[in-house]
Chain A
Amino acid sequence: MSALLETRGVWQRFGGLIANSDVSISVGRGEIVGLIGPNGAGKSTLFNLIAGVLPPTQGSIWFDGENVTHMPAAERCQRGVGRTFQVVKSFETMTVIDNVIVGALVRNTVMREARRKAHEVLEFTGLAARADVLASDLVPAEKRRLEVARALATEPKLLLLDEVLTGLTPTEAQTGVALVRKVRDAGITVLMVEHVMEIVMPLVDRAIVLDLGKVLVEGKPADVVRDPKVISAYLGDRHAQRA
């Protein structure tokens, strides 16, 4: 079976800055893959290229056997790519349920069905009690969950999570981890960007470490955290030698 998502030799330049250089990664069906790396490693850029916010300068992106390199974000969503935003982008003047209905409308053209689907997703994500609250009245952790709920309502094959666990209290983060597992168990492939290693490592099946725009190391989380190259990228060379 071919990979669900694949990037082939992807480059992204912003003027003189090279954010991604020759990045080739693949995500298999049913996996939870962590995309990690220090600040400025190019994680968010790669993430945006996959989500279709902008096309790469060079290289191609394949989703579900199809070249989607130049496909706009909305169309990728229709093909089955769901995403959240690092800086939450709720529809603030709309209620929680209405936020999720927007997502549900991708696969349900009849309002009644979209609404039912949205309620289902709110149950799944534990937001059901907040359905009729305005998105602007949610606390930050709930807003993060709303991002996930909205994306899930589009019934994605691949869910892209952009630092959904960052900045949460330990309890909130644990709830988040449980939710991600639940999402995978529902048959959805997950690619998550995080930079807090201790939260992601126990959760992911495979980790891809980016540094300075390149893939540094890729492998099982337990191996990745011990890799000297990863330690030096995060902590500097001195620590790498000691390890």
Chain B
Amino acid sequence: MDKNFAARRRRDLVIAAVLAGLAALAPLFIKDVYVQNILILTLMYAALSQSWNILSGYCGQISLGHALYFGIGAYTTELLFTKFGVLPWFGMLGGGVIAAVIAMGLGYPFFRLRGHYFVIATIVIAEIGLLLFQNWEWAGAAMGITIPIRGDSWLKFQFLRTKLPYFYFALALCCLAWFVTWWLEDSKWGFWWRAVKDNPEAAESLGVVVFNSKMGAAAVSAFLVAIGGAFYAQFLAYIDPESVMGFQFSLLMALPAVLGGIGTLWGPVLGAAILIPMTELTRSYIGGSGRGVDLIVYGALIVAISLALPRGLVSLFSRAKPKGATR
């Protein structure tokens, strides 16, 4: 039994390494900038969704306000860079730390809420964040911040002539988020989170400090999402509140995980690999006729998949069905 378990963990790691290797080779064959762009976004959303999954999937605290942490990552990086000349790499880490601290600060009152009330609180808080940034003159208010272009440089993490560095960074971030999840899954925290999600009262009776577990999950999740936000800001070279903190980001972090399998190791990556290209393609091919048709197709597909596979796409791959499955 234990051998199976260890073998499965190793197998997951090998599969991830192979997939990452293949992805790293993709730019050799894919020269089209439009397609590269889709790949970058896919990897980024896979990473974001993987991070979202830590709090909402494993720990069961459904957040529809993660756009806040994404925006905080973006704004911290760009404000530090444009106002104080701090390199984006430091801004990125700083944004991650600030987001984690804010996530815990918000968790303090809101983790007492249960179920739908918690979800509503996350949406409201993210909207408040959006409004604050829209009215914050020093941070560019609704006009946003344009990142001064000083030529291609890894130091300043900006590239005009090629998208490849962004691609590799997004790939690295995706690998990091996956690996963190993989590592946490077989740790005290991972077990605590799943216990909290399934039954907080029973968890408490078994020595799990429910409140602290939620705080831990929130901090890790927000930190990684903020790194994603910093990346996105550098990638766009321009940010305004709506384009880094809009509600759609909260949704786009949640949907891949839900589609692929919430609270699973592979769900977010699988979901993002299907969802993000589809979003982009439907938008460019049938979205031109005015906003709407692409969203209808998109929505219909999500409804169809959730009806057919309520446990997500990964359930197609689980060898042993319910009986005998470990996750």
Contacts and interface: CB of A to CB of B under 8 A. Distances in A.
Interface residues of B, number: 29
Interface stretch (A33-41, A90-98, A163-171): A90-98
Contacts of A77: 204-207
A203 B312 CA distance: 48
Nearest to A107: B207
Contact of B202 (A85, A97, A101, A131): A85
| B191, B194, B207 interface centre (most CB from chain A within 10 Å) | B207
A128 to B, nearest CB: 9
Contact of B194 (A73, A78, A83, A98): A98
A103 interface: yes
B325 interface: yes
B2 A119 contact: yes
Interface of A: 51, 53, 72-74, 77-78, 82-83, 85, 89-95, 97-98, 101-103, 105-106, 109, 111, 114-115, 119, 131-134, 136-137, 150-151, 153-154
Contact of B198 (A51, A92, A154): A92
A10 B178 CA distance: 51
Nearest to B320: A132
A151 B203 CA distance: 11
Given A74-B208, A105-B191, A93 B263 contact: yes
Contact of A111 (B187, B209, B210, B325): B187
A83 B205 contact: yes
A154 B195 contact: no
A89 B201 CA distance: 8
Given A78-B207, A111-B186, A111-B188, A90 B323 contact: no
A119 B324 CA distance: 16
B162 interface: no
Contact of A93 (B2, B198, B204, B205): B198
A102 B205 CA distance: 10
B186 A74 contact: no
Contacts of B195: 91, 94, 102
Contacts of B205: 51, 73-74, 77, 82-83, 85, 151
B69 interface: no
B115 interface: no
Contact of A102 (B1, B192, B325): B192
B289 interface: no
A98 B191 contact: yes
Contacts of A151: 205-206
A86 to B, nearest CB: 12
A220 to B, nearest CB: 31
A73 B204 contact: yes
Interface string B289-327: 000000000000000000000000000000000111110
